[in-house]
Amino acid sequence: MTAGPRQGSVRRSDTHPVVVDKFGGSVLRSPQDIAAAVAAVAEQRQAGLRPVVVVSAFEGVTDAILASASVLLPDRGAALREPGHEAGSAFARETDRALATGESLSAALFALGLQARGIPARSFSGAEAGIRTAAAHLGAEVRRVLPRRLRAALAEGLVPVVAGFQGIGTHGELTTLGRGGTDLSAVVLAVALRATRCELFKDVGGVMEADPHLVPAARLLMEVDALQLELLAELGAEVVHPVAVRRARRGRLWLLVRAVDGSAPQTTVRPSRQRGSEEAGVLMLAVDRKERIARVSVVGPAAMVPELLPIPAHGAGSFDEGEMRVVWAEVPIDQAARAAQAVHAAVMA
């Protein structure tokens, strides 16, 4: 008797929507965590979606690689800590190649996990996925995305698993995209593939209105504006890579920030606010700490943001970007948490 096709191996129709899933290092702490991530991808396939997976290195791997390189390099690699190095830098080239191994390992193991569950999958490097960058290292700019091989894999019913944070430069060498670059990999691929959305899986789930480590009373937000989230990231909040949010906004791509557990609260990031919308919007708070000074900033719709933050400050100011306004105040770094909590209580509670 001839065996029927395996579940998950059925060729997927091109009419089924594509969704891009990004799994960060905080979610992939160990190979055991891949099983839970694989289950989330399997649920999407059962729902009729065509997932494309983009992965970071396991938590701590990138830092371990950088620490190893610093032992070998003159000045312990201090010159390589700044982003964006010329294509001719031999140190930067080899550091890029070392760093990229973390994501490549995650991609291969994730593809193995899908295959073990009966879901056909194939891993891809950033270059194989079509991510083309400038001729630079350790923070190269993404210039183009040519996802022909990913489209072919999807047409065959495969789940492509892409090593994030990397691409290939115009000089023909492997490049990396800098800290948070896997967010950027996922977004540019989602835009190029015209995905219905890009899901960013994080250990904390959705987006909070402030860093809960600084402001324990911070609440989770169900929906935010992409420009607001982009500004928040530029102001020091480590939520989503600011360039990734900018690319999503310009590509009219919807983002979903969520945990692997599908029942946990999620945050939808809309590409833009509708003009004339009667929705009030929300306020968000960021803290950027540099040396001895911390800058506390609030960003939100201009009509909701106060002219000044109600805290003693060494310096203060504000600026507008589109329909959003940012107001900020600088305080001594040892007062950052107290100042953030005071602003939250007075302006956002």
pLDDT tens digits, 252-305: 999 999 999 988 899 999 998 665 555 568 999 999 998 899 999 999 999 999
Residue 84 has pLDDT above 80, yes or no: no
Place 89 in a pLDDT band, splitting at 50, 70 and 90. Answer: confident
Residue 3 has pLDDT above 60, yes or no: no
Provide the whole-model pTM.
Answer: 0.91
Tell me, what amino acid is at 108?
A
State the pLDDT at residue 4: 37
- Taking 3-state DSSP, the helix, strand and coil percentages for the chain, each rounded to the nearest 5, stand at 35, 25, 40
Q: What percent of the chain has pLDDT over 70?
A: 93
State the pLDDT at residue 279: 59
Read off the pLDDT of residues 173-185 as tens digits, 9 standing for 90 and up.
999 999 889 999 9
State the pLDDT at residue 275: 59
Element (H, E) at 21: strand 18-23
Residue 211 has pLDDT above 60, yes or no: yes
Residue 8 has pLDDT above 50, yes or no: no
Residue 216 has pLDDT above 80, yes or no: yes
- For the ranges 84-93, 114-123, 146-155, 216-225, the lowest mean pLDDT is seen at 84-93
State the pLDDT at residue 76: 76
Place 311 in a pLDDT band, splitting at 50, 70 and 90. Answer: very high
Residue 7 has pLDDT above 70, yes or no: no
Residue 60 has pLDDT above 80, yes or no: yes
Short-list 119, 79, 80, 122, CA closest to 99: 80
Q: Torsion angle, CA of 148/108/253/321, rounded to 10 degrees? A: -120
Residue 6 has pLDDT above 50, yes or no: no
State the pLDDT at residue 131: 98
Short-list 155, 178, 162, 165, CA closest to 53: 162
Give strand pairing partners of 319. 326
Residue 136 has pLDDT above 70, yes or no: yes
Residue 344 has pLDDT above 90, yes or no: yes
Give the separation between CA 292 and CA 109, rounded to whole angstroms: 42
DSSP tally for the chain: helices H, then strands E: 8, 18
Mean pLDDT estimate for the chain: 91
Do strands 197-201 and 255-258 pair parallel, antiparallel, or not at all (unpaired)? parallel
Which residues, at least 6 apart from 199, have a Cβ–Cβ distance to it below 8 Å? Answer: 19, 20, 21, 22, 255, 256, 258
Question: Which tokens hold the place of 50?
Answer: 């065509």
State the pLDDT at residue 13: 56
Give the separation between CA 174 and CA 2, rounded to whole angstroms: 45
State the pLDDT at residue 323: 87
